[in-house]
Structure 1
Amino acid sequence: MTATFNHMIIPSKDAQLSARFYVELLEAEMAPSWGVFHNITLPDGVLLQFAAPPIEFVPWHFAFLVDEEHFDRAYALIQSRALEHWADPQRTRAGQINTEHGGRGVYLLDPAGHYLELITRPYI
């Protein structure tokens, strides 16, 4: 069996809030939760587990590849909630999306302060 990505724990100040945010933005599914973990599954079966860590954490960057229709729905959600977003990772092009790499992309922060990127085409 080759290695495949199975799950990751994402530190969050409010695990339940973060899980709901990702479910809505990524059109993911809630999964059974246990202990300190609030869990969701992505369409490919990857489990994302949200938990409040016992220490301060440095924000992480997560990039998700979505199709064009999903991007439209996610961007409409971003706009309807007036979420801050940028066309670039340096946050210099506020309120915009990019059209780099033959697709579209947008950057935003999740409720815990992690940096999210939605793209419609992979970089390589």
Structure 2
Amino acid sequence: MSIELDHTIVPSYDKLASAKLLAELLGVPWSPTALGPFAPVFVNEGLTLDFIQTDEDFPVYHFCFRVSQQTFDDILGRIKRAGISYRSSVRGPVDMRINTDYGGNMIYWNEPDGHQWEMLTVSYARQSA
């Protein structure tokens, strides 16, 4: 069996609101009543993001989702309908533009806790030969 990331914990000041928002934007299921202290977002069959409530300070995390062009278009539509600002570069200004520098489409947005989400259709980290 290959090594796969099963889940990771995402700290949040409001785990239910954060998990619900991400699940709605991605178009995936989530659970407000999971066992334990988590509000899980079921990204796919093998990956869960477990939001956990905290009052402590935490670093801003960065998560990147590689998706098909159709899924990109669907998620971008939900981001726009939700009135969420996005940008074309990781630390650039909110320009509401799509980055096409790597042969696909890519955007970044931040959620209320500050975490940075990235969505792309072509991986720049794993260039094909």
TM-score (norm 1): 0.90
Give the whole-Å Cα distance in 1 for the aligned partners of 2:74 and 2:8. 25
Once the two structures are superposed, residues 42-88 of structure 1 have per-residue CA deviations (whole angstroms, 9 ceiling, x without a partner) of 22321110011241111111110011111111111111122111000
Q: Which runs of 4+ in 1 moved over 4 A?
A: none
| Structure 1 residue 20 displacement after superposition | 0.8
1:72 paired with 2:82, answer no
The aligned counterpart of 2:52 is 51
Maintained 8 Å contact 2:5/2:46: no
Maintained 8 Å contact 1:7/1:46: yes
**Percentage of identical aligned residues:** 29
Identify which range, 31-40 or 96-105, moves more after superposition. 31-40
1:8 paired with 2:8, answer yes
- Two-structure CA RMSD over aligned residues (Å): 1.5
Identify which range, 46-55 or 24-33, moves more after superposition. 24-33
Maintained 8 Å contact 1:17/1:111: no
Q: What SS does structure 1 have at the residue aligned with 2:96?
A: coil
Structure 2 residue ranges without an equivalent (≥5): none
Q: Which amino acid in structure 1 is aligned with residue 25 of structure 2? A: L
Identify which range, 49-58 or 7-16, moves more after superposition. 49-58
Maintained 8 Å contact 2:15/2:51: yes
Identify which range, 101-110 or 45-54, moves more after superposition. 45-54
Once the two structures are superposed, residues 83-115 of structure 1 have per-residue CA deviations (whole angstroms, 9 ceiling, x without a partner) of 111000122351111112110000001221101
Give the whole-Å Cα distance in 2 for the aligned partners of 1:43 and 1:30. 11
Identify which range, 66-75 or 29-38, moves more after superposition. 29-38
TM-score (norm 2): 0.87
Give the whole-Å Cα distance in 2 for the aligned partners of 1:86 and 1:40. 24
Structure 1 residue ranges without an equivalent (≥5): none
The aligned counterpart of 1:97 is 98
